[in-house]
Amino acid sequence: MNKLSGAEAFVRMLQLHGVKYLFGLCGDTSLPLYDALYRLDHGMTHILTRDERSAAYMADAYARVSGKVGVCEGPSGGGATYILPGLVEANESSIAVLCITTDVSVTSRGRYTLTELDQETLFRPLTKWNRVIDKAEDIPKLMREAFTHMTTDRPGSVHIGLPIDVQKDWVHEDEVWAEPAMGTYPSRRTAPNLAAVTSAADAILSAKSPMFICGGGVVISDAEEELRAIAESLRAPVATTISGKGSIADNHPLAVGVVGSNGGTSATRGIVERADMVIFVGCRAGSVTTERWRYPAPNKTRIVHIDADPTVIGVNYPTEVGLVGDARLCLGALHEEMARRRPHLSRPTLAAAHVAKAKEEKFLAFQALAQSNEKPIRPERIIAELQVVLPRDAVIIADPGTPCPYLSAYYEFFETGRHFISNRAHGALGYSLPAAVGAFYGRPGAKCVAVMGDGSFGFACGEMETIVRLKIPVTLIVISNSGFGWIKAGQKHGFSQNYYSVDFSRTDHSKVAEAFGLKSWSVSDPADLRRSLREAVGYGGPTLVDIITQPLEEACAPVSEWIA
């Protein structure tokens, strides 16, 4: 019987699950794994990053746009601790990411070995599932288990620890097999209970003004067509969370846009207030989406909740009917049930008119600022110019802070699916720059654009070397206002303008980018903005546009706490 080393078996298991890209950073404990990657003919590409955190963000964005498992890896000790932020972000966002951290040998545990730490305990609260493999013979079985956990039920991140002596030990080749379908997600979809479908249909058809609020679960499950069909049959408005952008095309007559405290407006909130029933789909009904559980109003608005995770249903709202299952299967079953009753179905026709009026109100206020020639450049002007210059199928990655609320509220995507990404689960700075790399590998035919504040730029600018080395034609846009704007705006609106430790010096980001090898522009005049953005987007290599922008605390961001 042929044998493989543990490292070789591990590489083969990745290959058998259809993995094409690994994002990661080398270390002493990873040497056997890297040697196996070097020697074997596996068809995978390793993307060397400059930071383990970046590797995880790249894997996250790759998984979001491709629908395939994203894979990141790093060494023991500091590498394992640096990679954590990306794992918890992916897990809370229901994104299938496999994290591999190599480890000190099993036989050297408890002997003050350099870089030793309890990886399984460290990763346990941050991932859906995790194991440190103690015996090489367990590698195939635990890899199959990892891919199953990642891609079924509510998808999420998983972690595998791979000690160096386990990488060197032997595995029987006959044990190395996999189910390739588990390399995409959701892999095994859960159908809803038929009695619950009937109850949900009864409840929804009894409502006078139902509406949908869709989270990321709709896009993750490719349920856009099922959502459109049922919304049209009910003539019900469809709003989304930030992660749910792409559930419905923004130019659809029933598409409300983003609601909530980040990216929502008073006009879109009015649609939620008008509804007598809200149907949450793939959405946890969290604090941002509901403006701290005020819209929809609890105990006033009826709730139907659809989610793959049964534990989120009924947590924040009294729920009339909970429908547990994959969003595509649930919406499809509901639509079939309603179609069966079509002769008895009569819906009001005013929903589209209310949606149109709300959107007109929102964009009238936006356009008044987007046409401004004031300096520093208004954030609204940047969004308006991006809408003009970016292709229809572009992928935009927005860091938290200034970019997120503006892009969420005002940038319109006319195609469904994942075209907008923001790390909404934990909102760590420094996400969008490395995430643009992962998005490019996940969808190489699309223009990928990362929009970040200058605070975020400082977290991740080292990955510009990665971008240049690999000749990745992404465009980076820096919203430059010399401060941690979100916190400063919070200090203005909630703490009597007691600005404390939120301002930093102006950096010439275009010169920094130029030093790394990117083609760059610096823009301070609104009249130069469209031309600079068009040139940057059209250039065949990596580019950066540094935009001197109005400070966030002075702007009119669509953030309800500040507007109030």
Please indicate, yes or no, whether residues 448 and 329 belong to a single structural domain of this protein: no
Which pLDDT score is estimated for 1?
65
Neighbours of 167 (CB within 10 A): 27
Helices and strands (DSSP H and E) totals, the chain? 23, 20
User: Does residue 59 contact residue 421 with C-beta atoms inside 8 Å?
Assistant: no
What DSSP string describes 333-360? Answer: HHHHHHHHTGGG----S-HHHHHHHHHH
Q: How confident is the model at residue 564 (pLDDT cuts 50, 70, 90)?
A: low
What distance in Å separates the CA atoms of residue 524 and residue 375, rounded to the nearest whole number? 7
Which pLDDT score is estimated for 157?
98
Domain boundary, last residue among 144, 164, 183: 183
Average pLDDT of the residues in 399-407: 94
Domain boundary, last residue among 128, 157, 183: 183
Residue the block writes with tokens 């002075």: 554
pLDDT at 347 over 70: no
Identify whether 166 is part of a domain.
yes
Average pLDDT of the residues in 229-239: 96
What distance in Å separates the CA atoms of residue 266 and residue 254, rounded to the nearest whole number? 17
Which pLDDT score is estimated for 508?
98
Please indicate, yes or no, whether residues 164 and 23 belong to a single structural domain of this protein: yes
Share of the chain above pLDDT 70, in %: 98
What distance in Å separates the CA atoms of residue 551 and residue 202, rounded to the nearest whole number? 50
Please indicate, yes or no, whether residues 316 and 377 belong to a single structural domain of this protein: no
* Displacement of CA 528 from its chain's centroid (Å): 31
Residue 396 corresponds to which tokens in the numbers above? 């935009």
Which pLDDT score is estimated for 432?
98
Q: Cα torsion at 46, 52, 54, 55 (round to 10°)?
A: 30
Bridge partners (DSSP) of residue 158 are: 98, 129
Q: How confident is the model at residue 220 (pLDDT cuts 50, 70, 90)?
A: very high
Render pLDDT for 462-495 as a digit per residue (tens, 0 to 9).
999 999 999 999 999 999 999 999 999 999 999 9
Between β-strands 170-172 and 3-5, what pairing exists: parallel, antiparallel or unpaired?
antiparallel
Least Cα distance to 361 among 241, 436, 257 occurs for: 257
| Residue 143 DSSP symbol | H
Identify whether 537 is part of a domain.
yes
Identify whether 158 is part of a domain.
yes
Residue 381 corresponds to which tokens in the numbers above? 């002007």
User: Does residue 405 contact residue 26 with C-beta atoms inside 8 Å?
Assistant: no
Please indicate, yes or no, whether residues 330 and 382 belong to a single structural domain of this protein: no
Identify whether 478 is part of a domain.
yes
Which pLDDT score is estimated for 151?
98
Identify whether 355 is part of a domain.
no
Find the length of the chain.
Answer: 564
Q: How confident is the model at residue 380 (pLDDT cuts 50, 70, 90)?
A: very high
pLDDT at 344 over 60: no
Least Cα distance to 62 among 402, 472, 429 occurs for: 472
Q: How confident is the model at residue 21 (pLDDT cuts 50, 70, 90)?
A: very high
Domain boundary, last residue among 148, 183, 218: 183
Average pLDDT of the residues in 517-523: 98
* Displacement of CA 424 from its chain's centroid (Å): 7
pLDDT at 563 over 90: no
Please indicate, yes or no, whether residues 536 and 459 belong to a single structural domain of this protein: yes
Please indicate, yes or no, whether residues 198 and 158 belong to a single structural domain of this protein: no
Residue 306 corresponds to which tokens in the numbers above? 């659809």
pLDDT at 150 over 90: yes
pLDDT at 407 over 60: yes
Average pLDDT of the residues in 314-339: 97
Residue 93 corresponds to which tokens in the numbers above? 């966002």
The dihedral of CA 394, 183, 69, 248: what is its sign? positive
The CATH number of residue 52's host domain is 3.40.50.970
Cα 8 to Cα 23, 147, 177, 270: the distances in Å are 18, 18, 13, 58
Q: How confident is the model at residue 348 (pLDDT cuts 50, 70, 90)?
A: low
Please indicate, yes or no, whether residues 173 and 67 belong to a single structural domain of this protein: yes
Domain containing residue 247: 194-350
pLDDT at 133 over 80: yes
Average pLDDT of the residues in 551-556: 94
| Residue 411 DSSP symbol | -
Please indicate, yes or no, whether residues 104 and 241 belong to a single structural domain of this protein: no
Please indicate, yes or no, whether residues 380 and 498 belong to a single structural domain of this protein: yes
Please indicate, yes or no, whether residues 330 and 458 belong to a single structural domain of this protein: no
pTM: 0.97
What distance in Å separates the CA atoms of residue 423 and residue 56, rounded to the nearest whole number? 12
pLDDT at 299 over 80: yes
Helix axes 379-389, 351-370, angle to 10 degrees: 110
Render pLDDT for 86-108 as a digit per residue (tens, 0 to 9).
999 999 999 999 999 999 999 99
Compute the mean pLDDT over every residue in the chain, rounded to the nearest whole number.
Answer: 96
Number of domains forming the structure of the chain? 3
User: Does residue 87 contact residue 61 with C-beta atoms inside 8 Å?
Assistant: no
Average pLDDT of the residues in 159-181: 98
Please indicate, yes or no, whether residues 338 and 449 belong to a single structural domain of this protein: no
CA angle 351, 357, 362 (to 5 degrees): 125
Identify whether 26 is part of a domain.
yes
Please indicate, yes or no, whether residues 173 and 202 belong to a single structural domain of this protein: no
Identify whether 396 is part of a domain.
yes
What distance in Å separates the CA atoms of residue 65 and residue 79, rounded to the nearest whole number? 26
pLDDT at 16 over 80: yes
Integer-rounded Cα Rg, in Å, for the chain is 24
Which pLDDT score is estimated for 243?
97
**Which residue type is seen at 207?**
A
Which pLDDT score is estimated for 343?
52
The CATH number of residue 240's host domain is 3.40.50.1220
Bridge partners (DSSP) of residue 422 are: 398
Identify whether 506 is part of a domain.
yes
